[in-house]
Chains A and B, each alone.
Chain A
């Protein structure tokens, strides 16, 4: 047993972090929300160059055929920097749905995908930007056309109704594709939560009220201590879920659901606490906090609600002890 990231995985996370710290991801996110995807697509291609879009793509389609643990390492960084775009659909879900030359385009960073996977993923993300638009119906794949736009609480998530089109063929493994989407979403939540914590800690060290830094007050310290506790205990669930996806473990559904619930709750607590610590400045559109706060709320509902994942956990564990 060795339950820790490898040196290579830590380096991978650091290289993604370095890349994203050098570009203005907040500006790209705001452009994306405003319907101007240019800077977001530049960012996309840059990240594809580091290998993120090809992680789960098999080597015969020029992908990396990497470990799902690498995937969660990457998605945690994407969540941390609030990178816009259909990352879950393209990099995590699509490679589990089809085996096709399309994946070579994904790996190269040229093809963006938008995937609907009803009932839990009924709306299509960024379907106006993605050229591969695929809906799962039972065991079959359909192309779809984007219908009415549905504004999300996270303005960077451009959602659309799905109008089913021509049948494309059989889906490879829809349950695995769903679980990969849940896993990547959980990792993004964890990253967003970590950013919210880091920002609140930095702010609490600087902001002075009543003649001292607010981080000196126990009331503030205790809020932040609870956030770090939740995040630290959610992270191993995300890593274990990635292992279960990699190994095709019989506990896969249970493990990804547990990860999504815990990461969602930790990130949401981080969002609420982050806003509380920042006060009014955090409630402004100029501040980056809002980008994560809205994203966390959106991702808590996306890829299966808390109630749905609770049910999956209970079904699995009560089956196990029956």
Chain B
């Protein structure tokens, strides 16, 4: 058992580190939930792509560099430690792309992945509907067969990035008599197509991080069905635990925040306030635990294991860790803790608040852990 990097991985990490040191913008970019910030983030994605660093884990033919899972984790650690911008393309890169690699056709990969890697086409996720949050199987938007493709109708909501993105992907009910998980089809569509109306929804921070998407007979060609029609649930689920996706949220984010928290504690913390300094220590310990847990997961996957309900353990842990890191910082800041422009902690806290809600709420994750990892019986919800 060891934590040593081999020469190849260490060289890769050093290359990433030095590129980021020279290229990360001095000032943080404006939020990508504003029109101006979105454009700047798109430009940043293009710059990352030019350096071959936007999608390191992808095959070279699509703009990646075939990095191993470990190298991907190292990349993420360096990325966040350097204070580099949040990834405006993350829905595409971490959610749609893995599904394309598993279920897409060669033509789809060739057509969709390279512009995604360069930030030319930014994707929004369109999973949720007004009646279906974590209960995706209750969704009602429809895909109706037409010549050469499908007509989409209905409403999606809480769709991240949709206010400014180019395209979206989601599940649609394609068999009118079907129930729950059956009869769903995974489709990709253009947010500027005829029949699409996007209504931005301001989030807690006041910016339109979400949008509603209204679809009225939007034509989608057969070429934009992912997997088999009617098989959308399975297509979506086989990549829901994807190792390079959100379930393995990169430990670099939390380590970087923990380091900033420690610096803040040194600057403004009162060592006699053991309650608060204990929380600082706990937050650092949590970030370190998460990093090490990820290294354990990487090792397991490399040796042929797969990610199952452990990804719910993962999500439960990091979503609370992220909140604890930010809440502790705000408490350390005292009266300055409510100030928004002076430091990044308020925005970080607003973002962290969403952790226990999105991608399956805490309650859904706990059910998954209890039933699938601990083997407790399924019960009433």
Task: Give A contacts to B, CB under 8 Å.
Answer: 1-6, 9, 67, 69, 201, 204-205, 212-213, 215-218, 220-222, 224-226, 228-229, 232-234, 236-237, 239-240, 242-243, 258, 261-262, 306-307, 309-311, 313-314, 317-318, 321-322
B303: which A residues are within 8 A, CB to CB? 4
**Are A204 and B376 in contact, with the CB atoms below 8 A?**
yes
**Are B366 and A221 in contact, with the CB atoms below 8 A?**
yes
Given A261-B281, A310-B281: A243 in contact with B376 (beta carbons within 8 A): no
Q: Which of B269-283 contact A (CB under 8 A)?
A: 274, 277-278, 280-282
Given A218-B367, A222-B366: A318 in contact with B293 (beta carbons within 8 A): no
**Are A218 and B265 in contact, with the CB atoms below 8 A?**
no
Q: Can you list the 3 inter-chain pairs with the closest CB atoms, starting with the nearest? A: A216-B379, A221-B370, A236-B292
**Are A233 and B374 in contact, with the CB atoms below 8 A?**
no
Given A1-B3, A216-B380: A314 in contact with B265 (beta carbons within 8 A): yes
Given A204-B376, A261-B282, A314-B277: A236 in contact with B263 (beta carbons within 8 A): no
**Are B313 and A232 in contact, with the CB atoms below 8 A?**
yes
Is B323 engaged at the interface, CB distance under 8 Å to the other chain? no
How far apart sit A136 and B285, CA to CA, in the bound complex (Å)?
A: 29
**Are A4 and B299 in contact, with the CB atoms below 8 A?**
yes
Given A228-B374, A236-B293: A310 in contact with B282 (beta carbons within 8 A): yes
Is B373 engaged at the interface, CB distance under 8 Å to the other chain? yes
Q: Which of A9, A218, A221, A236 contacts B289 (CB 8 A)?
A: A236
**Are B1 and A225 in contact, with the CB atoms below 8 A?**
no
SS class, residues of chain B in contact with chain A: helix
How far apart sit A310 and B2, CA to CA, in the bound complex (Å)?
A: 25
Q: Which of B24-60 contact A (CB under 8 A)?
A: none
Chain B residue at minimal CB-CB distance from A197: B374
Is B193 engaged at the interface, CB distance under 8 Å to the other chain? no
Given A216-B379, A261-B281: A2 in contact with B288 (beta carbons within 8 A): no
Min CB–CB distance B169 → chain A (angstroms) = 30
Q: Which of B3, B259, B265, B369 contacts A3 (CB 8 A)?
A: B3
**Are A237 and B289 in contact, with the CB atoms below 8 A?**
yes
Chain A residue at minimal CB-CB distance from B380: A216
Min CB–CB distance A282 → chain B (angstroms) = 18
Min CB–CB distance B298 → chain A (angstroms) = 7
Chain A residue at minimal CB-CB distance from B289: A233
Is B177 engaged at the interface, CB distance under 8 Å to the other chain? no
Given A3-B1, A4-B1, A222-B370: A236 in contact with B295 (beta carbons within 8 A): yes
**Are A314 and B374 in contact, with the CB atoms below 8 A?**
no
Given A1-B5, A3-B1: A225 in contact with B369 (beta carbons within 8 A): yes
Q: Which of A69, A215, A313 contacts B281 (CB 8 A)?
A: A313
**Are A2 and B278 in contact, with the CB atoms below 8 A?**
no
Chain B residue at minimal CB-CB distance from A322: B266
How far apart sit A280 and B317, CA to CA, in the bound complex (Å)?
A: 30
B286: which A residues are within 8 A, CB to CB? 233, 262
**Are A317 and B262 in contact, with the CB atoms below 8 A?**
yes
**Are A321 and B289 in contact, with the CB atoms below 8 A?**
no
How far apart sit A320 and B303, CA to CA, in the bound complex (Å)?
A: 34
A243: which B residues are within 8 A, CB to CB? 1-3
B310: which A residues are within 8 A, CB to CB? 232
How far apart sit A232 and B312, CA to CA, in the bound complex (Å)?
A: 12
**Are B381 and A4 in contact, with the CB atoms below 8 A?**
no
**Are B1 and A239 in contact, with the CB atoms below 8 A?**
yes
Is B365 engaged at the interface, CB distance under 8 Å to the other chain? yes
How far apart sit A145 and B114, CA to CA, in the bound complex (Å)?
A: 75
A67: which B residues are within 8 A, CB to CB? 1
Given A1-B6, A240-B292, A314-B265: A201 in contact with B280 (beta carbons within 8 A): no
**Are A3 and B376 in contact, with the CB atoms below 8 A?**
no
Min CB–CB distance B294 → chain A (angstroms) = 9
Is B371 engaged at the interface, CB distance under 8 Å to the other chain? yes
How far apart sit A306 and B277, CA to CA, in the bound complex (Å)?
A: 12
A-B contact pairs, 8 of them (CB 8 A): A3-B3, A3-B298, A67-B1, A216-B378, A221-B379, A229-B313, A262-B289, A314-B281
A233: which B residues are within 8 A, CB to CB? 286, 289-290, 293, 313, 317
How far apart sit A311 and B276, CA to CA, in the bound complex (Å)?
A: 12
**Are A2 and B1 in contact, with the CB atoms below 8 A?**
yes
Q: Which of B348-373 contact A (CB under 8 A)?
A: 363, 365-367, 369-371, 373
How far apart sit A4 and B290, CA to CA, in the bound complex (Å)?
A: 15
**Are A237 and B288 in contact, with the CB atoms below 8 A?**
yes
How far apart sit A262 and B282, CA to CA, in the bound complex (Å)?
A: 8
A3: which B residues are within 8 A, CB to CB? 1-3, 292, 295-296, 298-299
Q: Which of B263, B266, B379, B381 contacts A212 (CB 8 A)?
A: B379
Chain B residue at minimal CB-CB distance from A221: B370
How far apart sit A216 and B376, CA to CA, in the bound complex (Å)?
A: 7
Min CB–CB distance A252 → chain B (angstroms) = 13
**Are A1 and B2 in contact, with the CB atoms below 8 A?**
yes
How far apart sit A7 and B13, CA to CA, in the bound complex (Å)?
A: 29
Chain B residue at minimal CB-CB distance from A239: B1
Given A201-B375, A317-B284, A321-B266: A1 in contact with B4 (beta carbons within 8 A): yes
Min CB–CB distance B372 → chain A (angstroms) = 10
**Are B277 and A310 in contact, with the CB atoms below 8 A?**
yes
**Are A236 and B296 in contact, with the CB atoms below 8 A?**
yes
**Are B379 and A229 in contact, with the CB atoms below 8 A?**
no
How far apart sit A314 and B271, CA to CA, in the bound complex (Å)?
A: 10
How far apart sit A171 and B369, CA to CA, in the bound complex (Å)?
A: 47
